[in-house]
Amino acid sequence: MKHLLIVVFVSGLAGAPLRLHESAFVAGPDGKPAGWTTWSARAETAPRCFVDRLRFRNQAGSLAISGNSNLAEHGGWERLVPGIEAGAWYRFTAHYRTEAVAHESLQVLARLDWRDARNRRAGEPDYVYKARREGAWTRVAIDTQSPEKAAAVTLQLYLSNAPLGTVWWDDITLEQIPAPAPRKVTIASINLRPQGTKSAAESVRRFVETVESAVKEKTDIILLPEGITVVGTGKTYADVSETIPGPTTATLAELAKKRNSYVAAGIYEREGQVLYNTAVLIDRAGNLIGKYRKVYVPRGEIEGGLTPGHDFPVFQTDFCVLGLMICYDFFFPDPAQALASKGAEIILMPIWGGNETLAKARAIENKVYLVASGYDHPTYIMDPDGERLASAPANGTAAVATIDLTRRFLAQYLGDMHGRRMKELRLDLKPPLPGFE
């Protein structure tokens, strides 16, 4: 029976952007489909690569990789695709399914290894880290820009250190796409420490007045500090705690509607007998779209009667996915890591005080924008390289900056560390219990 290899490959035609799609793989005389080779760093680490006609997504024939009972196994399938336009944008998608692979995010790997006209590496490879389950298969995808000297790209589909595992790859597509439009976001972060207000409502009113006086620009998001209902009042957490929604969120909703801007702020929440240090997020129409309860609650707050939260939610806005963390959270790596893993491009951090070096590390290690609004901590807008774009050193002022979320932050010799971190993070290692011998 004759089998058909389905390949749609358009390249080299005047004005025609590149598009490659492959499925229904058929092994040639050497066991490999046309155009595909296999790779491993050493012969003794090579996996077993074969075309499997029994496991496939739509039509018979997938690219299979077996760990081959080898703990050191690393490698898989490769295909060199010529006709790449330097500086152009490309979308890569592929689908895989696994068996006996314990840690897919680490052990199943797709990369785009860019090559110049002499087949030398042109820039660092892009790691395909965005994944979505589609039944028994998982779709991975990336939209990325080719380096300035790129003339070709090697598609790399690997399995790593999975001795008992097998991965099947199918429905693989590479296509040139239009460059994305700029995604510009204007952010304002408020520096204000009210004094002698005597009530939560009065403190909140002063924050609203400061926004009106200090933020003249049209903004997409306005950030206020931690605990805006307690600062300056002389009251306890229990005194100022309220339900959500409640009076403070109602006031912030009016501000959001008036400014046609998202508003985020830290307040104290009461739910029955439980008190939380909470950050709320309100949309442009004044709707409460979410809240985050501070996970890392320091000793002083616990002694003041507060209870920790237990989740790191993210929130879809009309300009990006936002994450929230509060003050002491940034002393630990996992809050920012969790938010970035869930897709947050900007992390808003209402804060009282703390070490700015640690905050800077959270932006750099996760390659996200970090926005701080604080009292004893500086108020600033920081980019994914840890550089301040704007700051507000004086009481009653605002840090304002416009960012472009399409901008890429590439490290020399390392490439896009946001994507690399998503694929190389060792979540397979269980941390020890602190303090236990």
Residue 155 has pLDDT above 60, yes or no: yes
Q: How far apart are CA 348 and CA 222, in angstroms?
A: 10
Contact present, 143 and 128 (Cβ < 8 Å): no
Q: How far apart are CA 54 and CA 61, in angstroms?
A: 7
Q: How far apart are CA 160 and CA 155, in angstroms?
A: 16
Residues 203 and 247 in one domain: yes
Residues 244 and 365 in one domain: yes
Residue 4 has pLDDT above 50, yes or no: no
Residue 2 has a pLDDT of 36
Residues 166 and 223 in one domain: no
- CATH code, 54: 2.60.120.260
Residues 375 and 226 in one domain: yes
Please state the rounded mean pLDDT for residues 307-317: 98
Q: pLDDT tens across 29-88, in order? A: 999 999 999 999 999 999 999 999 999 999 999 999 999 999 999 999 999 999 999 999
Q: How far apart are CA 130 and CA 423, in angstroms?
A: 9
Residue that is last in its domain, among 143, 161, 177? 177
Q: How far apart are the first and last CA of the chain?
A: 65
- CATH code, 261: 3.60.110.10
Secondary structure, 3-state, the chain: CCCCCEEEEECCCCCCCCEEEEECCCCCCCCCCCCEEEEECCHHHCCEEEEECCCCCCCCCEEEEECCCCCCCEEEEEEEEECCCCCCEEEEEEEEEEECCCCHHHHEEEEEEEECCCCCECCCCEECCEEEEECCEEEEEEEEECCCCCCEEEEEEEEECCCCCEEEEEEEEEEEECCCCCCEEEEEEEECCCCCCCCHHHHHHHHHHHHHHHCCCCCCEEECCCCCCCCCCCCCHHHHCECCCCHHHHHHHHHHHHHCCEEEEEEEEEECCEEEEEEEEECCCCCEEEEEECCCCCHHHHHCCCCCCCCCCEEECCCCEEEECCHHHHHCCHHHHHHHHCCCCEEEEECCCCCHHHHHHHHHHHCCEEEEECCCCCCEEECCCCCEEEECCCCCEEEEEEEECCCCCEECCCEEHHHHHHHHCCCCCCCCCCCCC
Residue 317 has pLDDT above 80, yes or no: yes
Share of the chain above pLDDT 70, in %: 97
Contact present, 168 and 55 (Cβ < 8 Å): yes
Please state the rounded mean pLDDT for residues 352-359: 96
Q: Which candidate, 360, 359, 344, places its Cα nearest to that of 418? A: 344
Q: How far apart are CA 164 and CA 102, in angstroms?
A: 10
Residues 191 and 237 in one domain: yes
Residues 200 and 334 in one domain: yes
Residue that is last in its domain, among 117, 148, 177? 177
Residue that is last in its domain, among 121, 154, 177? 177
In a domain, 144, yes or no: yes
Residues 95 and 32 in one domain: yes
Please state the rounded mean pLDDT for residues 232-246: 98
Please state the rounded mean pLDDT for residues 363-379: 97
Q: How far apart are CA 360 and CA 91, in angstroms?
A: 31
Residue 15 has a pLDDT of 59
| Structure confidence at residue 422 as a pLDDT band (50, 70, 90) | very high
Q: pLDDT tens across 389-418, in order? A: 999 999 999 999 999 999 999 988 899 999
Residue 13 has pLDDT above 60, yes or no: no
Residue 8 has pLDDT above 50, yes or no: no
| Structure confidence at residue 437 as a pLDDT band (50, 70, 90) | confident
In a domain, 116, yes or no: yes
Please state the rounded mean pLDDT for residues 350-377: 97
Contact present, 205 and 246 (Cβ < 8 Å): no
In a domain, 417, yes or no: no
Q: What is the layout of strands, in order, in the sheet containing 388-391?
A: 314-316, 321-324, 346-350, 369-373, 380-382, 388-391
Domain of 13 in residue numbering reads as 6-177
Q: 201 φ, ψ to 5°? A: -60, -40
| Structure confidence at residue 6 as a pLDDT band (50, 70, 90) | very low
Residues 266 and 388 in one domain: yes
Share of the chain above pLDDT 90, in %: 93
Residues 42 and 73 in one domain: yes
Contact present, 278 and 224 (Cβ < 8 Å): no
Q: How far apart are CA 100 and CA 166, in angstroms?
A: 7
In a domain, 212, yes or no: yes
Q: How far is CA 398 from CA 187, 323, 345, in A?
A: 10, 21, 21
Q: pLDDT tens across 117-131, in order? A: 999 999 999 999 999
Domain count, the chain: 2
In a domain, 419, yes or no: no
Residue 11 has a pLDDT of 47
**Phi-psi category of residue 200: left, alpha or beta, with phi > 0 → left and psi -120 to 50 → alpha:** alpha
Residue 106 has pLDDT above 90, yes or no: yes
In a domain, 85, yes or no: yes
pTM of the model: 0.93
Residue 430 has a pLDDT of 87
Residues 274 and 341 in one domain: yes
- Joined together, the tokens standing for residue 435 give 């303090």
Mean pLDDT of the chain: 95
| Structure confidence at residue 16 as a pLDDT band (50, 70, 90) | confident
Q: How far apart are CA 200 and CA 397, in angstroms?
A: 21
In a domain, 434, yes or no: no
In a domain, 18, yes or no: yes
Residues 389 and 243 in one domain: yes
Residue 10 has a pLDDT of 43
Q: pLDDT tens across 182-230, in order? A: 999 999 999 999 999 999 999 999 999 999 999 999 999 999 999 999 9
- Joined together, the tokens standing for residue 430 give 């269980």
Residues 169 and 222 in one domain: no
**Cis amide leading into 29 (omega within 30):** no
Residue 5 has pLDDT above 50, yes or no: no
- Joined together, the tokens standing for residue 130 give 């965005």
